[in-house]
Structure 1
Amino acid sequence: MGQIVGAAVVSHHPGLVQPKEIRVQRGNGRDSDLVEGFERVRAKIDAVKPDTFVLFDTHWLTTSLHLVAGAAHYKGSYTSDELPFSMTRFPYDHAGAPALAAEVEKVAQERKVAARNVVEETLPLHYPTINVIHYLGRGEKVLSVGTCQTARFKHFLEMGEVVGEAIRRSDARVVLLASGAMSHKFYDLDHVPPNPRVWHPDNVSEPKNRALDMEVLELWKQGRHDIVLDRFPELEEAKYEGRGAHYAQMMGALGGRSCRARGTQLSEYENAAGTGNVHVWFDLQ
């Protein structure tokens, strides 16, 4: 019987894979703490010894269907069409989780949830998967889960429930990775960051969004996912990345409003182009 042994919300923005000297320059003499934060997340992963990551990818936007990437292997070179000068010919090479992906589709069919398994190895990957696996991967299998842009909150929870049941029916030891920002409103081209350290939270685009992020971080610390999920319209108003699908799907897999996993913040809360970014680990043991 498979088991979910850990879970985390993690940042993935392209600035994290730029050369260190650029990151330090943008940080006014100090690197982004999210980079060292990945090492702290990895230490948590090492402690629970998973063989598989299920990664909820906020940039893999699908339509009319939830999708999972179920090929046996992914290898290639990625150039971002969004930010090509931050990520050009960035290599990736990791195993997929085809058996788990097939189980996801089977459970979805049983529950009449609109979800399919994509087995084509040439499926384009996105940097929420590539960047996180770059920092956290140590040979684990990886199953990427998309963000259906025609889904609503209840559908994200249902898809998470499907993923959770599929894991239970498998033989996998899984860490869930919700790859995305918190508030995700970009500032415009004329914006001048008020703090010279680009990563500083003062540079998050909206003070009210930053305040909401702080409230959510405290609720995660307390394990009060029920309250966060009940406040989901506020998260969507603050433009949580992928409409918050990464977090909602992860919570669906962990029991939804009944989940009381307490969060441990493993990085500073940082800005990236106006968005709020952080790594938070949820203990399930």
Structure 2
Amino acid sequence: MNAALAELLAFSTQSLLAGFIVFLRVGAAMALLPAFGETAIPARVRLVVALAFTLVVLPAVRASIAPLHAAGSLPGQVLATEVLAGLALGAILRISVLALQIAGTIAAQATSLAQLFGGGAGEPQPAIGLLMTWGGLALAVSLGLHVTLAGALIGSYDAMPAGQFPGAESIRQWGVGGVAHGFALAFTLAAPFVLAGLVYNVALGAINRAMPQLMVAFVGAPALTAGGLLLLVLCIPAGLALWHNDLSALVANPFEAWR
């Protein structure tokens, strides 16, 4: 019986160490992942979600991390490598959310709606940016973001093996490409608002030159606000669909999308 208990204790120790190794990467990524890493979500909820993702990822990657805990203890290097790998994955996926926020800010500035209603909890941002961000995240979660994120976490062990530091040059190229793509996506989403604002200001300038005595700013401000809100209704559904397609392609293959 003592031998059976000793064997059970050894198995439990190795299982706990394996779970802890996976939790290091999942927990670090969870701080930045879209939807699940938002500051508006309570820390306890994010902790529970991280534990749930750990239970999903662990069976798929246990064979690859077995050498790290075979001795019944963890090398000190594992603590650093797994946290860095999780942060790298979370940061590159977080750029998609930042693209929505940047697009909302550009759109709000272009249509003079930057001060309308104000922002919300967490990072202050215009109402349009808040609407686009939470609308996009709600759309992504409803269409199975949690499933694809679990697949990305499992795939990260092939791209960034456990116990090894990620390559600095690969991370640099990965990050620069991700930032460039994020800004391009943000401007694409905000392009209708920028074009509408440009046309409005050119027309306003022409009217002001033709009729200097008319207070065109007071006449045109309500039209700009109404036009911005109408454009928001017309463009947001297509913009969020475009953003979700881009996010889905990234999460499905986050390690090759921008290389």
Name the TM-score, length of structure 2 as normaliser: 0.23
Greater gyration radius: 2
Name the TM-score, length of structure 1 as normaliser: 0.22
Q: Higher strand proportion, which one?
A: 1
> Greater relative contact order: 1 or 2 (C-alpha under 8 angstroms, separation 6 or more)?
1
